[in-house]
Structure 1
Amino acid sequence: MKILFKSLVLFSFLITSFLFSQSITKSTFLVKGECAICKERIETSAKKSGATTAVWNVDSQKLDLEFDPAKISADQILKNIAEVGHDNEKYTATDDVYEKLPSCCHYKREPSLLKNDILEQPIKKENQYFVRGNCSSCKARIEKAASTAGADSSIWDPQTQIVTLNFDPSKTSADQILKKIAEVGHDNEKFLAKDDVYKNLPDCCLYDRTLPFGVKSSLVHDDENPEAKTEIEDHADHVNKSIEEVKVTKLADATALNRKETGLTFNINSKELLKAACCNLSESFETNATVDVSFTNAVTGTKQLKMLGLDQKYTSLTKELLPSIRGLAAPYGLNLIPGRWIGGIQLTKGGSTVVNGYESITGQINTELLKLQDKPETSLNVFADINGRVETNITSTSQLNEHWNQSVLLHGNATLEKKDANHDGFLDQPIGNQINAAYLLNYNDLEHSGLGSHFGISFVKDERFGGQTAFDKKIDRSQQNAYGVGINLSRFEIWNKTGYIFKGKPYQSIGWMNQFTTHQQDSFFGQRNYFGNQNTFYSNLIFESIIGNTNNKFKTGASFLYDQYDEDYLTQNYKRTETVPGVFFEYTLTGVKYTLVAGVRTDFHNLAGTQFTPRVNFKYDLTPKTILRLSAGRGFRTANIFAESQQYFGSNRQIEILGNGGKIYDLKPEIAWNYGASLQQEFKLFNRKASLVADFFRTDFQNQVLTDLDVSPQKLVFYNLNGKSFANSFQTQLDLIPLKNLEVRLAYKYYDVQADFIGGKREIPFMAKNRGFFNASYSTEKTEKGAFWSFDSTLQLIGKQKLPNLNSNPAEYRLPEFSKSYTTLNAQIARNFNKNIRAYVGGENLTGYTQNNPIIDPQNPFGNYFDAGMVYAPIMGANVYFGLDFKF
């Protein structure tokens, strides 16, 4: 027992001695980096230097360290981190080490993080005070004001923003001197200048009034380096702890081409979406030069997107990176995602990653729903236009606790007025209403447990009626002679995405996505009935890790897609079930100046057979501001000929399918290769940042389901391609800032889209070869209350389009071979009264151009020549809208 007791005492003494000898210090430092590879490099370097723990956050750029100062110093740790390429507040990496980092790790090096450069507030001595200013004129004004107030002498340093005062306390005081300095326009730590005095200072003297005292504002007013403003503001609270609250505002382009992405990807944020009415997803691209938006027919009022010269069905449209607008949702799905629900859009031209599936041929458009940002927010939006459309949106994001947050999204709209501006007896747009609701729940504990999850559920009900003005939806169709159109949609979605980052391995993660969707349409077009129901289950399991080091990364996994279709057209029923298990592997090689992403997937389609889908994307930084991108890839999809051709249901064309033994409508699936190249150049124009992007893409179809409108004006014929079909797309876009607060975008597009039809090789109809685009956005300076004006305008030039051949019709029911060119103009003026109230008024198609006689033979809608699907231009004249936004 004595031996045991002595042993316990000795053991306790040794443990106590050990614990007290460990003087662990916790510190936080600013370290620059860009991505997960940077995170691993910074933390590894810190731990190799002797830190017991090291956690670096890419968003805050902060490194949390725990270390024993008896063994290693913070200076030595930060010095070692700089030696592997990462600037920090103590040391700067050498240029040659920085340049050798992978391109994805190239962070912005200006402004410096060195404390003696920016971030550390200068130390004041007695009779020294912070006074804001900018230049030598400020210096003269400040020192003269001090002298006038009784100072014997004064010296103001524009670098430290400190004025040193020498005065007799029996004659004046520091407060009196500083008050006088404020009266001539210069804020200081005792008194603030009046707004009207500040605004009357020369332009060179207009310092930034939002920065902490001691931070030189001239760094912020450098128009050539807007990133400096972002970075200084991001770290403002680190600079001056005495200030109660520091507002951080990130500067970001409304539409920005992502320099880090290997593919040609544009990020569209909420700032861009507010430039136009943006009532739903189809209207979110009005100010974007990449996507073409057009009406599909003259009776349903729906719009569709086109990219790279091809219809929307060849673009993968996802929501939260899950399949969204596809299958039976293709014709109207864009109208079911309200614009005010959208937190951001990522638009990728050309073949996208194999991880997201096989259906992308011309590109991918992913929509992110609104989620909690910096703080909880509830918003109310009301909207109305002169055509009788009204809309209300309520969105609320809130924090439930440290790890959980939620979003509640509500939307309702109605079109109430029956409008027939061209007096053809048909409504220019259908009347009806939509109710839409969604709930999102998010969990984030990536920093500690490595776990994150996102859950969503949504429901929408949309009902529209159109056709002749005399049509009454309340009367049974069998008892009225008027031509009517009715479309009743309902859609339900539930989804979850869960991910886990392996502890100690920030480069290794696993994620699992699941989604169930049911979409139903019950509709009629005159005497034609169409009913469609689609149930879809999608699952995708993704594992990501490295091979040796983070320059060699890979993603691999398996997916499963289940589609059940049930369609009735006239008296014919079409049912099918598609099951598609698949596996994929994608490898990313990152070099000093290049990134290569190569992937392959194999899908085992029960009706289309085994499909092999390779894709490759390559990015090379010719210079830090010149980027070359190349891409190539294969995609395949199964056509839904009835859902995707509903723009022609408003006619008396008889549908004919020329089958070739396929298992879906007796047709084979569509298969295409897409190749692309782009060059991105950033430069200075008007002494400000500008960029020029030129890209060329070609799509070659191995097989395609052609929709032939030329066999006969009374027929709509579907058949598989027998020959060649291709689409060439060239676009060049210039973004510049000619004046402060004025952003300009210019673009030109050329399309050449042809196919071998039964009647021979010809152009695809309704596709303009030449298109021009101009967008300008200007905003005034914000007042102290956050009020400002913004002005936006978009001008589009649409060249002539090949039209279907109707020459066998009587002369009065024919179309010319090509349409006329035309121009459209959209504009909007908005006033932000403060951070919480915004009012806007705008106009669409302000040039007033409309297509003459968009409906062929409207007086006889049940006759042989009636056709409302030959739409190539706007069918409604100028529209004016207005709206209000409230934030709580």
Structure 2
Amino acid sequence: MKLYISRLILGTLFLFTQFISAQSLSKNQFKVKGNCEMCKTRIEGAAKKAGAKKAEYSIDLQTLTLETDPGSAEDILKKVAKAGHDNEKFRASKEVYDGLPGCCHYERDLQETVSQTVTQAPYSKQENEYFVRGNCASCKARIEKAAKGAGADFAEWNAEKQTVILHFNGSKTSSDTILKAIADAGHDNEKYRTPDTVYNGLPACCLYDRDFTFGEPNPKVHNEEGAKHENHQQHETAANEGHSQHEKNIEGVVVTGSKAATSLNKKETGLVFNIDKKELLKAACCNLSESFETNATVDVSFSNAVTGTKQLKMLGLDQKYTSLTKEQLPEIRGLASAYGLNFIPGRWIESIQLTKGGSTVTNGYESITGQINTELLKNAKTPETSLNLFSDFNGRAEANITSVSPINDKWSQTFLLHGNGTFGNTDMNHDGFLDRPKGTQINAAYLLNYNDLEKSGFGSHFGINFIRDERTAGQVGYDKRLAQDEQYAYGVGIDISRFQVWNKTGYVFKGKPYQSIGWMNQYVYHQQDSFFGLRNYAGKQHTYYSNLIFESIIGNTNHKYKAGASFLYDGYEETYLINDFKRNEIVPGIFAEYTLTGLKYTLVAGTRVDFHNLAGTQLTPRLNFKYDFTPQTILRLSAGRGFRTANVFAESQQYFASNRSISILPNGGNIYGLKPEIAWNYGASLQQEFKLFGRKSSIIADFFRTDFQDQVLVDLDRSPQQLTFYNLEGKSFANSFQTQWDFTPFKNFDVRLAYKYYDVQADYIGGRREVPFMAKHRGFVNLAYATHKNDKGSFWSFDTTLNWVGKQRLPDTASNPQEFQLPAYSNSYAVLNAQISRNFNKKIRAYVGGENLTSYYQKNAIVDFKNPFGNYFDGGMVYAPIMKANFYVGLDVTF
């Protein structure tokens, strides 16, 4: 049945795209970017002036239909680009594009391949002509009325040129007086900026884009509020975590454009969220596991009450079903599954790309619920060194040093250093066990980058990373200096060493910017030695990964393809108690992916074949489809298959801090006697953007279903004294629905609201049950506000996040004595985090915050904590925070 459904969906999508593709452009029809009726007039006018006998532009289809003499279409499209409109042959220069009215600023795809960029000098004003911003006929009337009211004998505003021509008696008035009156009426110009209160009071149709340059020397700003705003814009820096910015200098003009700290990429066919490093500054982001506190898509939870580690969940399923990569290379997998999130410090992260649903086949076969890729700091035009110090009130301290610097115009390097330590005994629930482990971590990395794509076409990235992490947990009285057989207290020790080195090299073919080849290689060594009470667990992993990708087009850039080959080697050696488990996984693979781009749709269809020495040959097809009903209304569909091999010990260490015996029921497979996990994932999402309070707002609703063809079930219900692994016989599925609303009620105040519903069930040996520790209902609220900068560049930021978690099914403990039994379902609860930060200037930022300010914590998080060596002891039954409110302080200094 699952195979029939998947074929039906894939077939329907294929036929639908074939129908659309059949309606391809005729020979006299060309793709041209535009937004409004003004664009239509400009495009058709430019085409006719260039010799077109007939020119008709469609705003909805984004096409220009021409009647021309043979061979003249290219010259016409060049003239259209010179007028400011990108097309399939030529790209308008930035100066011309920036000079278009705000309503004509279509969305430019910076990765779109066109033949060349058409350059043209910025528009030059005549005498008594001044730049003035506006949008429509109402703007024209307002501008001309204000000018005449200030003494102009004649005033005519041109929407296309964004200029006003003034005639006036110089002995009675001046251009300064007239332009100030125009600014006071609501329209920015080359000398004065409108007060925000006046601009915000304009009709919605008149709200022009204020982050704009006319290509002229830096305009003087005389009115007091405008001067403050200009200073605020010019000094906006990466320190403003609530409102990240990007700046460019053009002929002395500072152009600042707002960039959301978290944004949904409208150009991506899949549902891809880009998380900027500014988003990570909204909370105590000490490592990757804490990087999603302000994100509604990923659920963060503690995995047990003894080791205190955190785990991520996405689409209602455990972290192991999400592909976690760093620099697009496999990162947190295998033996690193339990603690790997702690090995990527938050201050090292430049950005995170979060993909919901099956990702591209070029990144491998393991992605089932999605992919989370982390990019490290490595881009800098000028040297920058930063120091971060962090400490909470319960004995945790961290320090980060990051240094990014160019060596010359082609080479740059990054030094990353992190150290942390937890030294205090934290036992907030007074059960005699530490709420989080004590220990230290040293983490160092070096990155070297070469970029000569413009000249030679070559680019390369090299990285090396070493980690040493030691943790001790268990009862407060545990003494790690004593031998394990001499201990009277229950203790946990985790000692991890990790080394990795990687390289990514690419080449873009000269004269063919659409054609490239890239090769990625990585080696990882990971070793863990640990014990949980009287149980020992140790493991070693050697991994080598290689991926070769070739990208080009078929005819034109509407038809792109990728093809390549990959190789993965995993060597595992594990010891649990007295049992040794060894295996080598060798997986060569090949893949191909095709991208079809139409006027309003994009289809990405790919498949890969992997020849796994233990799991057999695996076919992994994936498909993503995006349809833009309008630039503000976007539908996405996806379907795909993924598979993985389960590391049952490494991925279940949260249950080792218990006295459950481990049992594996073999099913004829070659990995612990088990078969690989195989699942299909289907998804649909709708993105809608609109104006609210005169500002951009968006609502996203998505639904995903994951159907397991095979799965390694972790059964906690068979007996409270047993942990059982076995292959699925029957059905296992996860339904996930999420809706998220982002809006800005007023300037510098961002609101994010979300609701999530999960239905996750599986057929266990005892029958179909809900998967434990998964709440059906979740709510999310995030509020972020930043004040304006003062003259010294200082400002405040305020961030708060509320997570509401509904009741969760708990594992069956009915056979335990009554005092050690858990209820069938947990209580719902809410967790509130908040942070206040102060940026004193570009160089210094201080912050203070609190986690779990509601102080909700799970009472009796450890079953039978008084007798840790008894039959009923269990530290893995955690569904809520185990620590009360915790406060922290931090300092960022940039040199």
Whether the TM-score (by the shorter chain) exceeds 0.5 is yes
Alignment partner, residue 320 of structure 1: 327
1:628 matches 2:635: yes
Contact conserved, 1:731 with 1:750, CA < 8 A, in 2? yes
1:537 is aligned with what amino acid? Answer: Y
Alignment partner, residue 421 of structure 1: 428
Residues 710-739 of structure 1, C-alpha deviation per residue, up to 9 Å, x if partnerless?
111110011111111111111111111111
Alignment partner, residue 518 of structure 2: 511
**Quick check: 422-431 or 155-164, which moved more?**
155-164
Partner SS for 1:272: helix
Q: Which of these residues, 687, 697, 702, is aligned with residue 709 of structure 2?
A: 702
- How many residue pairs are counted as aligned between the two chains? 783
Alignment partner, residue 489 of structure 2: 482
Alignment partner, residue 265 of structure 1: 272
Q: Which of these residues, 267, 273, 296, is aligned with residue 303 of structure 2?
A: 296
Determine the C-alpha separation between the residues in 2 that align with 1:615 and 1:74: 41
Alignment partner, residue 827 of structure 2: 820
Residues 252-296 of structure 1, C-alpha deviation per residue, up to 9 Å, x if partnerless?
111111111111110100111111111000000001110000000
Q: Which of these residues, 88, 92, 95, is aligned with residue 92 of structure 2?
A: 88
Alignment partner, residue 678 of structure 2: 671
The correspondence of residues 451-490 of structure 1 with structure 2, limited to 5 A, is 451-490=458-497
**Cα 1:143/1:104, change in 2 over 3 Å:** closer
Contact conserved, 1:712 with 1:806, CA < 8 A, in 2? yes
Partner SS for 2:812: coil
Determine the C-alpha separation between the residues in 2 that align with 1:704 and 1:390: 40
Alignment partner, residue 412 of structure 2: 405
2:652 is aligned with what amino acid? Answer: S
Partner SS for 1:313: helix
Q: Which of these residues, 379, 383, 386, is aligned with residue 390 of structure 2?
A: 383
Q: Which of these residues, 326, 344, 349, is aligned with residue 351 of structure 2?
A: 344
1:335 matches 2:342: yes
**Cα 1:870/1:800, change in 2 over 3 Å:** same
Give % identity.
64
Residues 273-321 of structure 1, C-alpha deviation per residue, up to 9 Å, x if partnerless?
1111110000000011100000000011100000000000000000000
Deviation of the 1:447 alpha carbon? 1.0
Contact conserved, 1:33 with 1:105, CA < 8 A, in 2? no
1:609 is aligned with what amino acid? Answer: G
Deviation of the 1:33 alpha carbon? 11
Alignment partner, residue 67 of structure 2: none
1:648 matches 2:655: yes
Residues 194-239 of structure 1, C-alpha deviation per residue, up to 9 Å, x if partnerless?
xxx9999998899989976576999x99x9xxx9x99xx999744x
Question: For the pair shown, which has the larger CA radius of gyration, 1 or 2?
Answer: 1
Query: Normalised by the size of structure 2, how large is the TM-score?
Result: 0.80
Alignment partner, residue 403 of structure 2: 396
Q: Which of these residues, 841, 855, 874, is aligned with residue 848 of structure 1?
A: 855
Residues 458-493 of structure 1, C-alpha deviation per residue, up to 9 Å, x if partnerless?
111111101000001122222220101111111111
Alignment partner, residue 800 of structure 1: 807
The correspondence of residues 98-109 of structure 1 with structure 2, limited to 5 A, is none
**Cα 1:130/1:871, change in 2 over 3 Å:** closer
1:779 matches 2:779: no
1:281 matches 2:284: no
Contact conserved, 2:525 with 2:542, CA < 8 A, in 1? yes
**Cα 1:784/1:740, change in 2 over 3 Å:** same
The correspondence of residues 180-191 of structure 1 with structure 2, limited to 5 A, is none
Alignment partner, residue 596 of structure 1: 603
1:559 matches 2:563: no
1:442 matches 2:449: yes
**Cα 1:824/1:560, change in 2 over 3 Å:** same
Partner SS for 1:865: coil
Deviation of the 1:784 alpha carbon? 3.4
**Cα 1:164/1:400, change in 2 over 3 Å:** farther
2:734 is aligned with what amino acid? Answer: A
Contact conserved, 1:827 with 1:843, CA < 8 A, in 2? yes
Determine the C-alpha separation between the residues in 1 that align with 2:408 and 2:610: 42
Q: Which of these residues, 858, 870, 876, is aligned with residue 865 of structure 2?
A: 858
Determine the C-alpha separation between the residues in 1 that align with 2:435 and 2:86: 67
Alignment partner, residue 738 of structure 2: 731
**Cα 1:398/1:80, change in 2 over 3 Å:** closer
Partner SS for 1:478: helix
Deviation of the 1:248 alpha carbon? 4.2
**Cα 1:423/1:624, change in 2 over 3 Å:** same
Alignment partner, residue 748 of structure 1: 755
Query: Structure 1: any 5+ residue segments left out of the alignment?
Result: 1-30, 35-48, 50-72, 108-112, 148-152
Give the aligned CA root-mean-square deviation in angstroms.
4.3
Partner SS for 2:834: strand
Determine the C-alpha separation between the residues in 1 that align with 2:700 and 2:133: 41
The correspondence of residues 683-722 of structure 1 with structure 2, limited to 5 A, is 683-722=690-729
Deviation of the 1:80 alpha carbon? 6.3
Determine the C-alpha separation between the residues in 1 that align with 2:700 and 2:211: 37
Determine the C-alpha separation between the residues in 1 that align with 2:217 and 2:167: 15
1:521 matches 2:524: no
Residues 592-648 of structure 1, C-alpha deviation per residue, up to 9 Å, x if partnerless?
111111111110101111111111111111222111111111111000000000000
Determine the C-alpha separation between the residues in 2 that align with 1:236 and 1:418: 50
Deviation of the 1:783 alpha carbon? 2.5
Alignment partner, residue 122 of structure 1: 125
1:790 is aligned with what amino acid? Answer: S
Alignment partner, residue 585 of structure 1: 592
Deviation of the 1:88 alpha carbon? 3.4
Partner SS for 1:607: coil
**Cα 1:156/1:382, change in 2 over 3 Å:** farther
Query: Structure 2: any 5+ residue segments left out of the alignment?
Result: 1-31, 36-49, 51-73, 113-117, 238-244
**Cα 1:610/1:209, change in 2 over 3 Å:** closer
Alignment partner, residue 240 of structure 2: none
**Cα 1:384/1:162, change in 2 over 3 Å:** farther
Deviation of the 1:815 alpha carbon? 0.2
Contact conserved, 2:132 with 2:190, CA < 8 A, in 1? no
Contact conserved, 2:86 with 2:92, CA < 8 A, in 1? no
Residues 650-680 of structure 1, C-alpha deviation per residue, up to 9 Å, x if partnerless?
0000001111121111111111111111111
**Cα 1:190/1:429, change in 2 over 3 Å:** closer
Partner SS for 1:328: helix
**Quick check: 828-837 or 316-325, which moved more?**
828-837
Deviation of the 1:541 alpha carbon? 0.5
Residues 780-807 of structure 1, C-alpha deviation per residue, up to 9 Å, x if partnerless?
1222332211111111110000000001
Partner SS for 1:747: strand
Partner SS for 1:645: helix
Determine the C-alpha separation between the residues in 1 that align with 2:434 and 2:787: 41
Determine the C-alpha separation between the residues in 2 that align with 1:327 and 1:707: 17
**Cα 1:419/1:135, change in 2 over 3 Å:** farther
Determine the C-alpha separation between the residues in 1 that align with 2:176 and 2:685: 63
Determine the C-alpha separation between the residues in 2 that align with 1:445 and 1:605: 37
Determine the C-alpha separation between the residues in 1 that align with 2:608 and 2:133: 60
**Quick check: 802-811 or 413-422, which moved more?**
413-422
Deviation of the 1:251 alpha carbon? 1.5
Deviation of the 1:833 alpha carbon? 1.2
Deviation of the 1:569 alpha carbon? 0.6
